[in-house]
């Protein structure tokens, strides 16, 4: 049995990834920060697949919080290596740069980029000792192309892509890979206010994607089959941009 951690596993894309990891028999650590009921619903879905897991509350952007919960779990479970890490937690706070507040800039950077650092730094050590690991980070079309109104979000996601490319070169010799997936428009709480009808004509596949479609790509990169792929960004955007 492999141990897997999904940050932001309580809802949306993260939940779909947790369920697919469970289908493959993994023990799933489901991170969340505020919506405990949703995290418990994800755990229920994991158990319905015949696998097991646990919910883990911490704010990925707060290093002391990550260390106190995830760091202590790692210390107390020296025999259990987390072999799959999915950095999925993220928020968006869209605003034109000229109107952007420090809070809007910092919260997006701290969760996507700071969260990537706080969590990956802790988990990578065990992977290196085990000489096996898969780090998959959920970035965005916005981090590849840049989108107006999202300087904070585009910067944070582009930074995670850069960090992933650097990390992949640090850890490749020890059997650890690091890759990103870059979704376009996916139907989740995050895109609730965006009308699919207004945007779908821009998308060659003429629709928004589903969380399950993103999760399938994550599962491939997290599998042993993807052993010779590292430092890459896989777009899942219906052909919107490549």
Residues found near ligand NAP in the complex (CB under 6 A):
7-8, 10-14, 31-35, 38, 59-61, 88-91, 111, 138, 140, 183, 185-186, 188-191
> Least Å distance between CB 68 and ligand NAP?
14
Q: Give dist(CA 141, CA 147) in Å, integer.
A: 8
> Least Å distance between CB 217 and ligand NAP?
12
List the catalytic residues: 153
Closer CB to ligand NAP, 79 or 198, in the complex: 198
Q: Side by side, which strands form the sheet with 53-57?
A: 53-57, 27-32, 3-6, 82-87, 133-138, 176-183, 233-236
Closer CB to ligand NAP, 33 or 151, in the complex: 33
Closer CB to ligand NAP, 60 or 127, in the complex: 60
Closer CB to ligand NAP, 106 or 128, in the complex: 106
> Least Å distance between CB 232 and ligand NAP?
16
| Helical H segments across the chain, by residue range | 12-23, 36-48, 63-66, 72-76, 102-109, 115-130, 141-145, 151-171, 196-199, 211-221
> Least Å distance between CB 196 and ligand NAP?
11
Q: Give dist(CA 6, CA 14) in Å, integer.
A: 6
| Closest alpha carbon to 218 in 86, 76, 33 | 86
242-to-44, 80, 81, 141, 142 alpha-carbon distances in Å: 36, 38, 35, 9, 12
């Amino acid at each position: 049995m492999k141990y897997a951690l999904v940050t932001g596993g309580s809802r949306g894309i993260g939940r779909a990834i947790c369920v697919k990891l469970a289908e493959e028999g993994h023990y799933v650590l489901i991170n969340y920060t505020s919506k405990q009921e949703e995290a418990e619903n994800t755990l229920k879905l994991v158990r319905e697949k015949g696998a097991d897991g646990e919910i883990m509350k911490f704010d990925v952007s707060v290093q002391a919080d990550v260390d106190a919960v995830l760091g202590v779990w790692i210390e107390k479970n020296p025999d259990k290596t987390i072999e799959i890490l999915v950095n999925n937690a993220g928020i968006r706070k869209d605003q034109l740069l000229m109107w952007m507040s420090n809070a809007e800039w910092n919260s997006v950077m701290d969760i996507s980029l700071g969260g990537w650092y706080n969590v990956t730094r802790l988990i990578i050590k065990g992977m290196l000792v085990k000489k096996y690991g898969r780090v998959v980070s959920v970035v965005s079309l916005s981090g590849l192309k840049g989108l107006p109104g999202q300087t904070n979000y585009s910067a944070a996601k582009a930074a995670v892509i850069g960090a992933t490319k650097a990390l992949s070169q640090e850890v490749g010799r020890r059997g650890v890979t690091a890759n990103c997936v870059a979704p376009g428009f996916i139907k989740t709480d995050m895109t609730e206010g965006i009308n699919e009808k207004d945007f779908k004509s821009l998308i060659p596949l003429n629709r928004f994607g589903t969380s399950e479609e993103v999760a399938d790509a994550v599962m491939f990169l997290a599998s042993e089959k993807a052993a010779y792929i590292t430092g890459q960004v896989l777009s899942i955007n219906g052909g919107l941009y490549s």
